[in-house]
Amino acid sequence: MRPSRRVILQGSAGAVAALSLGAFAPAEAAQAVQASSSRRTRLDHDWRFALGHAQDPARDFDFGLDQATYAKAGRKVASAAAAGFDDSGWRSVRLPHDWAIDLPFVANPNPPPVGEDDPKAAHGFKPLGREHPETSVGWYRHTLDLPADLAGKRLSLEFDGAFRDVVVLLNGFIVHEHEGGYSPFRVDITDIAAPGELNVLTVRVDASLGEGWFYEGAGLYRHVWLVATDPVHVPQWGVMVRAEPVGTDARAAVVIDLKNEADPEAVCQVDMRVVDSDGVQVAEDTATTTLAGWNEAQVERTLTWHRVRLWSTGTPHLYRLIAEVRVDGRLVDRYEQPFGVRTAVFDAARGFFLNGQPLKLLGACCHQDHAGVGAAIPDRLQVWRLEQLKAMGCNAYRASHNPPTPELMDACDAMGILVITETRRMASDDAALAELEALVRRDRNRPSVIAWSIGNEEQAIQGTERGARIATTMVRLINQLDPTRPTTAALDQDFGEGVSPAVDILGFNYRTPLMEGYHARVPTQPILGSETGSTVQTRGEYVRDDARHIVPAYDTEHPWWASTAEAWWTLAAERPYIAGGFIWTGFDYRGEPTPFNRWPSVASYFGAMDSCGFPKDNYWYYRAWWRPEPLVHLFPHWNWAGREGEAIPVWVHANVDRVELFLNGRSLGSKDVVANRHLEWSVPYAPGVIEARGFKDGRALAPVRRETAGVASRIALTGDRTRLRADGQDVSMLKVEILDAQGRPVPAAAEPVTFDVSGPARIIGVGNGNPVSHEADRATTRLTFNGLAQAILQTDRTGGSITVTARAPGLRPSTLQLRAA
Ligand code: GAL
């Protein structure tokens, strides 16, 4: 019998379980997490937040006062951890939460001389760090109402990650400390928790120290889960499935960890079933084992079935392994582990192969922040960002330079996006290895993961013997935990030295022209572009203006170490031994405002899309050459008042055979398209209409026009989805565009747009993609930048109809109706 949706969701261990319901259904993913909470409950709501102080205990809720922190268990650790503490003055927040978003941008009081990079630019000019003790520590409080029937269960909290240096207190007791800002951690609270009572969870987060050279956010920017299990259970990440196709069949080696956290011996029966995405069972087996009290064991089985449905980028089929653990016939645990069946091979001479077919990696490097919300990206926004990358033609994602959220990884599994995931620190100290181990254990069942990256541009070690030793230690650990996937490292120099031979695949950050020589020298090592291209562009701008920190959006400007999109891709596209490349970057991100690297720039210019995900012109270059559909993209806009008669460079990114350009109906000639290259004309400006007509296989495509627009007259408000889940998490990505009276986009419009919301939803952040903007992210008003702005609308936990109106002085407003249920 085919189980109903309800049945499938019950007891599933994670978000991906729900995604296997057939076609990818992002709207249902997060809901499933909450609906599936037999073991796990997500603690997103009802948190209170206040800033503490990194130096002064009196302003840090007495944390560290009188050196009393560890003196007596549960005593005097912090006033904020006490049950009776009055937190009514604290802000009420939802997770994920990034408090850096609410901090102002602050210029360096002692900037370096003009011409030099400002070291404060890298992290995006937020007042975080040891120089800013008053804004670098955050405190969170949450009341855990634990039902009485949890008595006798093992209880734990799972943090998907927090930035950074976390002290977790329950009922006033320190229950855990964790430093790394990107790695998940688990806290056993069984001994301290009081089922049947209100339990006070307090978390101190200290973001004083950075781990990256970019904006990193601050606080509980990922989910926190409460996990309740029987004493006999499958521990976190305790199911490993290594599946492979065998002809048209499938074979899956399954290893299940079991834990007995009680005195009595337990005779366990573990029933395993493999279920396909339609919910049809395709294989089953049973194993038994005896677990002594307070002991661990493993059971292993190999399951096989016929007519395998492979996971691929086009059809990302996911199976689930469902493990049910019984003791004396009583069901004590049910653990679901999604997995896929596919082969992924890097060949030094011929590149990457998925399921035996050559597949160029068309990748993007991405950071984990977005306009409006910083590092606290709602799950649906993770999916939305990946949708934009797929629309551009990407089939691969490099998580630079840290493990991403599990929800992003779930979405890559479900959407068929290949991932190179990366640990934050290239180091072999205990903490770094523990983070690496957590990364591999968490993600080793995922079909999307094709390589583990051990690090990025570690100039002090990448070319040295010491680096080789560190890399070898890291690779050894990875191979123990997951012998099925290769390792890689991203280098910017020292190719062939130090860590190079210690990893399977060598990643070239930029330096695409060096790859040919390397391949000739080391023909046995697969290579890929771990960071490629890196044109700097401001969306919608076409003239460099250093005073205003603007770079043109032609594919022309790049840092000295990098290249244009066209330069790297023409090289990589034609060389099969280059497995592919990951552009730097998919989206603009906060910090690293190259080429200016000084106030007032606060965000990067590297993205093919801006920080809101609005395409820049390079997006269309990649889309033309990375996707099969015929495409003609014409730029710049055609509003150049005051420049009449002056030559304007007009570019076309097109993948058709030929393009003819017209100005006000007059042909300016036609040009043949050369693969992977743009077309360019120089056109004396006259207002009106510039038009590109593409021809493919003798057929004319619909013409593409840019028209001289009049003054701003009205607003067009749209949302990517108008039917939302009323779960307090789901979001609609709202876009505002400024149009003239004839409905033409006004390219330079800078209008202060205000969003009014009625109904059960709220705006959680706004943005406009301008790397120089210092406007507040958490606001309901935003200037449009070159005609566009974005607002992120998040639902409440009650359903109903939602009306959003976008208005600006002197413009006709626009209203959008949505529904949450
Ligand atoms: C690379 C680095 C990236 C980013 C980029 C900016 O060297 O790996 O993280 O900093 O440069 O150009």
Which CATH superfamily includes the segment(s) 714-820?
Immunoglobulins (2.60.40.10)
- Alpha-carbon distance of 810 to 793, in angstroms, equals 24
What SS3 state is found at 752?
strand
Is residue 340 within 8 A of residue 250, CB to CB? The reply is no
> Considering 261, 531, 557, 566, which one is annotated as catalytic?
531
Q: Is the CB–ligand 1 distance for residue 518 below 6 Å?
A: no
- Closest residue (by CA) to atom 5 of ligand 1? 584
- The residue from 261, 457, 458, 557 that is catalytic is 457
The candidate with the shortest Cα–Cα distance to 323, out of 300, 349, 340, 348, is 300
Q: Cα 71 vs. chain centroid, distance in angstroms? A: 41
Instruction: Among 584, 587, 590, 592, name the best residue to mutate to test ligand 1's pocket (greatest count of ligand atoms within 8 A of Cβ).
Output: 584
Q: Is 559 in the pocket of ligand 1 (CB under 6 A)?
A: yes
Does the CB atom of residue 428 touch ligand 1 within 6 A?
no
Q: State how far the Cα of 635 lies from the Cα of 653, in Å rounded to an integer.
A: 9
The helix/strand/coil state of 48 is strand
Looking at the chain, the number of H-run helices and the number of E-run strands are 10, 46
Question: What is the Å distance from ligand 1's center to 687 Cα?
Answer: 40
Query: How many Å apart are CA 569 and CA 565, to the nearest integer?
Result: 6
Return the structure tokens found at 679.
């077309």
pLDDT of 29: 36
- Which CATH number applies to 41-229? 2.60.120.260
Question: How far, in Å, from the CA of 705 to the mean position of ligand 1?
Answer: 36
Nearest CA owner, ligand 1 atom 6? 592
**Which residues does 330 contact at the CB level (< 8 Å), separation at least 6?**
none
Q: How far is the CA of 400 from the centre of ligand 1 (A)?
A: 9
> Which positions ≥6 away from 751 have C-beta within 8 Å?
712, 715, 738, 783, 784, 808, 809, 811
461 and 426 in contact (C-beta within 8 Å)? Answer: yes
Give the full edge-to-edge strand order of the sheet including 788-795: 712-719, 731-740, 788-795, 761-767
Helix 617-626 crosses helix 565-573 at what angle (to 10 degrees)?
10
Rounded to the nearest angstrom, the distance between the alpha carbon of 646 and the centre of ligand 1 is: 37
pLDDT along the chain (821 residues), means of 10: 30 28 32 49 97 98 96 96 96 98 97 95 98 98 97 98 98 98 98 98 98 98 98 98 98 98 98 98 98 98 98 98 97 97 98 98 98 98 98 98 98 98 98 98 98 97 98 98 98 97 98 97 98 98 97 98 98 98 98 97 98 98 98 98 98 98 98 98 98 97 98 98 98 98 98 98 98 98 98 98 98 98 98
Determine the Cα–Cα distance for residues 167 and 452; give it in Å rounded to an integer.
29
Instruction: Assess contact for 178 and 203: CB atoms under 8 A.
Output: no
- Say yes or no: CB of residue 118 within 6 Å of ligand 1: no
- Residue 336, ligand 1, Cβ within 6 A: no
Ligand 1 touching residue 594 (CB < 6 A): yes
The residue type found at 149 is D
On the CB side of 206, how many CA atoms lie within 13 Å of its CA?
17
Q: How many residues does the chain have?
A: 821
- Contact predicate 8/28, CB 8 Å: no
Q: Say yes or no: CB of residue 563 within 6 Å of ligand 1.
A: no
Q: Is the CB of 595 under 6 A from ligand 1?
A: no
457 CA distance to ligand 1 middle (Å)? 8
Q: Which two tokens stand for residue 431?
A: 């903490």
In terms of C-beta density within 10 A (0-12 exposed, 13-18 middle, 19 or more buried), how is residue 193 classed? buried
Residues 6+ apart with CB under 8 A from 332: 229, 230, 232, 233, 325, 326
Superfamily of domain 360-626 in CATH is Glycosidases (3.20.20.80)
Contact 818, 724 (CB under 8 A): yes
For the record, the structure tokens of 481 come out as 């935990």
C-beta 453 within 6 A of ligand 1: no
Q: Could you tell me the distance, in angstroms and rounded to a whole number, from the CA of residue 617 to the centre of ligand 1?
A: 21
Transcribe 24-49 into DSSP letters: --HHHHHHHHHHTTTSEEE--SSEEE
Distance CA 763, CA 159 (A): 26
Of the candidates 305, 310, 306, which has an alpha carbon nearest to the alpha carbon of residue 340?
310
Give SS3 for 624: helix
Residue of 509, 585, 590 with the most ligand 1 atoms within 8 Å of its CB, for mutation: 509
**Predicted local confidence at residue 8, as pLDDT:** 27
CB contact at 8 A, 625 and 395: no
C-alpha to C-alpha distances, 202 to 50, 84, 97, 169, nearest whole angstrom: 11, 12, 15, 5
Other Cβ atoms less than 10 A from the Cβ of 197: the count is 13
Ligand 1 atom nearest 456 alpha carbon: 8
Confirm or reject: Cβ of 457 under 6 Å from ligand 1: yes
Q: Residue 152: in which H helix or E strand, if any?
A: none
Q: Is 509 in the pocket of ligand 1 (CB under 6 A)?
A: yes
Query: Which residues lie below 8 Å from residue 628, measured CB to CB, with a gap of 6+?
Result: none
Nearest ligand 1 atom, CA 457 = 8
The alpha carbon of 432 and the centre of ligand 1 are apart by a number of angstroms equal to 21
CB distance 584 to ligand 1 below 6 Å: yes
Equal CATH topology for 10-16+237-339 and 638-707: yes
CA atoms of 140 and 93, how far apart (whole Å) = 9
Domain 638-707 in CATH 3.40.190.80:
no
Q: How far is the CA of 99 from the centre of ligand 1 (A)?
A: 25
What pLDDT score does 38 carry? 77
- Please indicate whether residue 457 is annotated as part of the active site: yes
Task: In whole angstroms, give the CA distance from residue 13 to residue 545.
Answer: 52
Would residue 531 show up in a list of annotated catalytic residues for this protein?
yes
Distance CA 446, CA 229 (A): 24
In 10 A of CB 642, how many CB atoms? Answer: 6
CB 739 within 8 A of CB 745: yes
481 Cα: distance to centroid of ligand 1 (angstroms): 29
**Cross-strand partners of 785:** 788
CATH topology for the 10-16+237-339 domain: Immunoglobulin-like (2.60.40)
User: Would you list the domain boundaries of the chain?
Assistant: 10-16+237-339, 41-229, 360-626, 638-707, 714-820
pTM above 0.85, yes or no: yes
Greatest C-alpha distance within the chain: 89
